[in-house]
Structures are given as C-alpha cells and as structure tokens.
Amino acid sequence: MNPLAQQLNETIAHEQPRVFEMLSKLGRAIYFPKIGILSQSAEAKQKAKTYNATIGIATENGQPMHLEVIQETLSAYEPKDIYEYAPPAGKPELRTAWRDKMLQENPSLAGKRFSQPVVTNALTHGLSIVADLFADEGDAVILPDKNWENYELTFGIRRGAVMVEYPLYDADGSFNAAGLRDALLAQKERGKAIVLLNFPNNPTGYTPGKKEGEAIVAAIRDAAEAGINVVAVTDDAYFALFFEDSLHESLFGRLCGLHERVLPVKIDGATKEEYVWGFRVGFITYGGTSDACLAALEQKTLGIIRATISSGPHPSQTFVLRALKSPDFADQKARKYAIMKGRANRVKQLLDSGKYGDDLIYYPFNSGYFMCLKLDVDAEAVRQLLLNEYEVGTIALGGTDLRVAFSCIEEPELEDLFDRIHRAVLDVRAGK
C-alpha cells in the first residue's frame, strides 16, 4: 500500500476506528499525492515569482491565455476565474460560502463538527465518490422503494453493492421509519450498511415531518447500537423546496455526532437549488468527531477526484460563487421558491377538488420538483397514450406510478395537464 494511503488509514483508524471499518478496498487504497504535480505547482504559485514553469496551462501577459471568441461573451469575469484549473477540492471561497449557507439554513448544525464541503461535479459525482470510498461488492445500500433510479448504477452496477429497498410510506402515508429500521437491522451479520436518505424525495416529492425525522434518526441509532456501521448519506438535491409543514432542514445535522458507528455524509449542490442543472456544481461534506479524521477523509475524496475528473469546472464554480455573494441572491431565490410553491399548491388543490373522482390518487407530497400518481392501471400504458394522443410527457415508474414534474409546468397550465392525464387514465381503463 502507498505510504500516504497508509498514513491516512492510520489516522482514520486511530481517530474514528468505525469509520475506518466502513472504507471500501478502494477507499483504503486511495490517497492524494502530496508531492505530485499539483502540490509542486501550488508551492510554485507561492514562491516562483520570476518564472513559474510548473503546471499545464498556457499564460500570456500575466494571465491565462485565452481566445477572444470565448472571452467576449464572458467579459464580466476575470480570465483567472474562468480558464485556470480550479483546485481539486474546488474554489476555497466557494467552499466557505457553501459551508456558511449550510449553517444558515440548517440550525441543527450549530456546534456540530463537520468538514469543509469539497466541490464535486454535481451531486451524481458526489454520490459516486461515496460509492467508491465506502461500497464494496455485496455491501447493502438501503433505500426506499421509490427512489432515484441512478442510485442503482452508481452503487449497484458500478460498485457491486446490493440495493435493499423498503416501502417509503407506512399504512398512514407517513415515512416508514420502521421499514428502514428493519432493513438496517437485517444487515447485522455483515456489520455495515449504506443508507440513502433523499428528501425532498425523487420521485414522490415527500419530505418527512419532525416526528418522522426523529424516527429515522432513532432507526439509524438503533442499528449503530446493534453493532452495524452505517454510512448515512443525505442526498439533499432538492433542498429548501419545502412547501408545507415538513422538516425544513437536512437530517445531516441530526446525524452529526449521533454515534461512533454513524458516518454522516451530505451530498448537495447548486444543481436544483439554484436552478443551474448544466453547471455541474455540487458538494460532499462529512460529519465527524475528529478534525484529523475529517481531514483524512477529505484527502481520500481528493484522491478519487484526482483519479477521475482531476478537478471540476472552474467557470461554473465562479458563477455560483458570484451568485451566493450577491445581495440579490436571497430575494431572487425567494421569488422562484414562490413560483414552485404556487405550482405544488395548485396541483394539490386540483387533485383534492373532486374533479377527478378517485381516478388520480397520489402519494403524499409536500416539497421538491415532483409528485407521483398512484394509478390503478398500467402506468406505462398511460405514459404512452399521454405521449401519442395528448402530447404530454410523464415518467412511468414501477407498475402503476406516474411521476409528474410540476416544476416545469406553468401554474395556469396545470389544470389542462391533469385533465389530459385524467383522460388518458380513463382511456386505458376503457381498454383503448
């Protein structure tokens, strides 16, 4: 094993031994080369005042070389904030700004120990870092039966983990914390589990309430107390789009410091929150009890980044940083939130109006971009008919669920959308 990896492992094993046990084979082997090109070039940036002939960029007139055809459309930005490589961990100012934002929006994080967020190439990349560092062949990934399909590729196909599903809702339509607890405790023999918590949930748009949140935390604590090491991942992709009386915080804050056998990992980012899907700016943040352990986890994360994408895109980090620091940011976000909330409320109002009888039953939702219909006919048949007869695109999931992204339908058009969905359901039921 490389001596640097060895050193990181010893630190983690000494500071938080359970976290060391959670690392995958790759997680144990990976390290960030301290004396490689990047560190030599960082050193040169500080000291080589006459000639810096280190890293593979080109310079001209004291700034990164660039083409006018590109710069002319980006003239609000300094070439140094666009063209140079961003550090593998991301722009330091952006990391600090994101951490500040996390603290502001999650009061439960006050006084908790957690790392500086590392910038990822958006949330999918953050999730794949978790998979690389913590998932080995046969490890259980515990998630609700209504989940984002990409987890299967990231954890299952890529890393050989086994997806263990439990029903998202209980009989009352609340979050099924008992199901989560049972699925966790079933991993006792293996002694390890990765839990994916995604609220607001894709595809249902559900976020648990305070009591349900407490039950989720209790289920994870029970598993830890039973001797199971739990990598507890919060996928907060749709964070802050809470429209009703659910939790308005990430469970990450509650998971920090919960138990030595629980490693909280927060995956979040600008993608959905700041409406910049194509920018590819996300973050991975670890909770822990030891700064040395958090620093070692950060080094391992940088190792994975260096080995895969080397570093994330610089322009979009600059754009997001500028937005976070703008005095207009909060106000502009609040206005978009109001639009999204208006759409969610309108959907609920329509579905509760009686207009569609019992034809459009829906799963509880209160947040995010989506809601999900629970049909009594084949969802794929409805989807096909909607596409071919009604010019409407939806997503069919499982046998009878139909996901509707109200996030991309203007409020006045929602009624027509659901009228069409209703007609398609009736058509399928009538055997058309």
CA 177 to chain centre: 20
Tokens of 301: 């994360």
Q: How far apart are CA 235 and CA 197, in angstroms?
A: 6
C-alpha R_g of the chain: 23
Count of other CB atoms within 10 angstroms of residue 103: 14
One residue of 133, 237, 255, 324 binding ligand PLP per CB under 6 A: 237
Phi, psi of 63 (to 5 degrees): -140, 170
Nearest distance, CB of residue 94 and ligand PLP, angstroms: 15
Nearest distance, CB of residue 377 and ligand PLP, angstroms: 26
**Whether the Cβ atoms of residue 346 and residue 411 lie closer than 8 Å to each other:** yes
In the DSSP assignment, the letter for residue 120 is: E
Which are the contacts of 5, defined by CB distance < 8 A and separation ≥ 6?
28, 29, 30, 31, 303
Under rule CB under 6 A, residue 407 binds ligand PLP: no
Nearest distance, CB of residue 126 and ligand PLP, angstroms: 8
One residue of 176, 202, 234, 407 binding ligand PLP per CB under 6 A: 202
Please, what sign has the CA dihedral across residues 236, 290, 225, 187?
A: positive
Under rule CB under 6 A, residue 242 binds ligand PLP: no
Q: How far apart are CA 46 and CA 33, in angstroms?
A: 19
One residue of 205, 282, 313, 364 binding ligand PLP per CB under 6 A: 282
By CB under 6 A, which span of 4-12, 121-129, 225-233, 357-365 interacts with ligand PLP? Answer: 121-129
By three-state DSSP, how is residue 302 classified? Answer: helix
Q: How far is CA 19 from CA 193, 205, 283, in A?
A: 12, 32, 20
The 10 Å CB-count burial string (b at 16+, else e) for 340-375 is: beebbebbbebbeeeebeebbebbbbbbbbbbbbeb
Helix (H) or strand (E) holding 424: helix 414-429
One residue of 30, 82, 122, 230 binding ligand PLP per CB under 6 A: 122
One residue of 148, 199, 356, 390 binding ligand PLP per CB under 6 A: 148
Q: How far apart are CA 263 and CA 280, in angstroms?
A: 25
Under rule CB under 6 A, residue 235 binds ligand PLP: yes
One residue of 8, 22, 118, 123 binding ligand PLP per CB under 6 A: 123
Nearest distance, CB of residue 235 and ligand PLP, angstroms: 5
Q: How far is CA 50 from CA 45, 47, 53, 85, 415, in A?
A: 10, 9, 10, 21, 67
By CB under 6 A, which span of 12-20, 116-124, 252-260, 332-340 interacts with ligand PLP? Answer: 116-124
By CB under 6 A, which span of 9-17, 118-126, 286-294, 374-382 interacts with ligand PLP? Answer: 118-126
One residue of 9, 198, 234, 318 binding ligand PLP per CB under 6 A: 198
Q: How far apart are CA 172 and CA 225, in angstroms?
A: 28
| Window 33-72: residues binding ligand PLP (CB under 6 A) | none
Tokens of 360: 């459009």
Nearest distance, CB of residue 371 and ligand PLP, angstroms: 14
- How many residues at the interface with ligand PLP, by CB under 6 A? 11
> Nearer Cβ to ligand PLP, position 142 or 424?
142
Nearest distance, CB of residue 262 and ligand PLP, angstroms: 21
> Nearer Cβ to ligand PLP, position 119 or 386?
119
One residue of 124, 367, 394, 407 binding ligand PLP per CB under 6 A: 124
One residue of 207, 271, 316, 366 binding ligand PLP per CB under 6 A: 271
Sites of contact with ligand PLP (CB under 6 A): 122-124, 148, 198, 202, 235, 237, 269, 271, 282
